[in-house]
Structure 1
């Protein structure tokens, strides 16, 4: 029993004390004699939800603080430690004004993975635009000239001044959500050093996949074929452009960006910026 002058009693538990980066932590609030709550997750993010769910995208130890406040404005806090470990896969987070995406970079394309990670660590992509979007096809970005570009600027030719040799892998195909390297027309099919696109795509049939196998020599593994039939994509690009990753969360964000109104040159009327960071 609490007396009339007693302070609130904060209490909470987490569904796990150790979590892999990008996984969620659910907090159970067991506070008593409180009417409002303030959470500090130790990574600069906060919440006022009674029972929040939070995600950490960097490994480390985080002190979570819950402050419970009663109807008279009296507050009391309690803390708990959450340990976040690095992911076993190479993951990136793509933030946009239309939502965020989580993508996996493939170990099967090491040169593309290493280059993309290097650029992300240099904050190369921060504030660049998705400068070319085609609904039912793809969204493209990574041109350094798009940062702060005027509305009439011609975009799509910028880059870091080098190319990446093509790395074609049959198990990495242009299914919806595929992260692939843009390129200029060159006989080696070498990739742009920085520009990339994410497949939006359309429905795909078995006949189309059979035709692509016959014309390019690609041999789709059964799981890739099933994925194409399930979510669609752009198989006509396979063996022509290097796929080096896959969006594993946020396919709806691709749809939103792809559906934006565009100007000539397929540039969105309203700038769609990006910020890309490593999950580690």
Structure 2
């Protein structure tokens, strides 16, 4: 009897700490983003639960219906989700609206900015050092296809960029002190060598990505994307059908603020369906 109670107590503690012994669901949410230029289907990642829950909540509330893709840059991304865009005038500047809250960052290195990545927009590091996401604004990556030699290995320019970011934002960091000492002893070459040797520490200290994984390199050299965004924004989903719609929208004429001259509206719906059906219909294979 005592042993049974002990087991129950342990199991209860595990569940309270967030452990789950339930099997993965055989169903998932399929998101459909309808626009003037066609439909896109997307899935949302379980590994970014706060973003997934928030996005689904807003969809169910009809929050996104009739909003605009208000910022469009060819070979980069299309962005929308500003509630002020629903009835915006022709010359109204957009991009500052939201539901009144932000979502904590859930930046996960296994999800990166390949073409079709569904990611959360946010304000810059100076006013948002925690990299919290906008409560509603998101962007979908178009990007471009890169040459392998340009993005693999340890690019010197990237190491220098990330090192300078650490110098500016965290001058008392142990690695900054080590880099200063290296410079005093051996000049520019010494600091460059140490930064390369300790690039992983640079990545951890800044949240930036310096050396791309083989999966990233493969994606960026085939379907394309925007690798310079990796590690800075939360990628919380992926467009699995309708990638051509991203291309069509990205090519529309825009004004100086990157807003399309002719409005591109969105309507977003969601369907809870079997994963096997999603795989069969759209070719997305769940990990």
- TM-score bracket, shorter-length normalisation: 0.5 to 0.7
| Aligned Cα root-mean-square deviation (Å) | 1.9
- 1:103-161 residue CA offsets vs partner (Å, 9 max, x unmatched): 11111111100100010010000000000000000000000000021101110000011
Distance 1:162 1:236 in 2: 26
2:151 to 187, 208, 213: 208
Structure 1 residue 90: deviation in Å? 2.5
After TM superposition, the structure 1 = structure 2 runs for residues 7-46 of structure 1, keeping only pairs within 5 Å, are none
Asked whether the equivalents of residues 170 and 218 of structure 1 are also in contact (C-alpha less than 8 Å), the reply is no
Q: Write the mapping of 1:231-250 to structure 2, written as runs, cut at 5 A.
A: 231-250=223-242
Deviation at 1:224, TM superposition (A): 3.4
Deviation at 1:208, TM superposition (A): 2.1
Q: What is the TM-score when the length of structure 1 is the normalising length?
A: 0.66
What TM-score, normalized by structure 2, do the two folds share?
Answer: 0.64
Corresponding position of 2:106: 167
Corresponding residue for residue 48 of structure 2: 109
Larger Rg, first or second structure (1 or 2):
1
2:32 aligned residue (78, 93, 108)? 93
1:258 aligns with 2:250: yes
Distance 1:197 1:231 in 2: 17
Q: Are 1:134 and 2:126 matched, yes or no?
A: no
Structure 2 residue aligned with 1:123, among 37, 62, 65? Answer: 62
CA distance in 2, matches of 1:138, 1:196: 10
Alpha-carbon distance, 1:221 to partner: 4.6
Alignment partners' CA distance in 2, 1:130 and 1:217: 28
Q: Which has the higher helix share?
A: 2
Secondary structure of the residue aligned to 1:265 is coil
Aligned length: 195
Offset of residue 229 of structure 1: 1.5
Cα distance between partner residues in 2 of 1:94 and 1:209: 33
| 1:197 equivalent among 119, 133, 139 | 139
Q: Say whether the 8 Å CA contact 2:120–2:139 is kept in structure 1.
A: yes
The question of whether the paired residues in 2 share the 8 Å contact of 1:218 and 1:239 is answered with no
- Name the counterpart of 1:19: none
Contact 1:130–1:272 (CA<8 Å) still a contact in 2?
Answer: yes
Higher strand share goes to which structure? 1
Q: Contact 2:151/2:217 (CA < 8 Å) preserved in 1?
A: no
1:224 maps to 216
Tell me by how many angstroms 1:274 deviates. Answer: 0.1
Give the gaps of 5 or more residues in structure 2.
Answer: 1-24, 160-198, 273-287
**C-alpha separation between the residues in 2 aligned to 1:87 and 1:199?**
28
- Partners of 2:222 and 2:27 lie apart in 1 by 27
**What are structure 1's unaligned runs of at least 5 residues?**
1-85
Which structure has more RCO (C-alpha within 8 Å, separation ≥ 6)?
2
Q: CA deviation at 1:276?
A: 0.4
Asked if the contact 1:104/1:246 (under 8 Å) is kept, the reply is yes
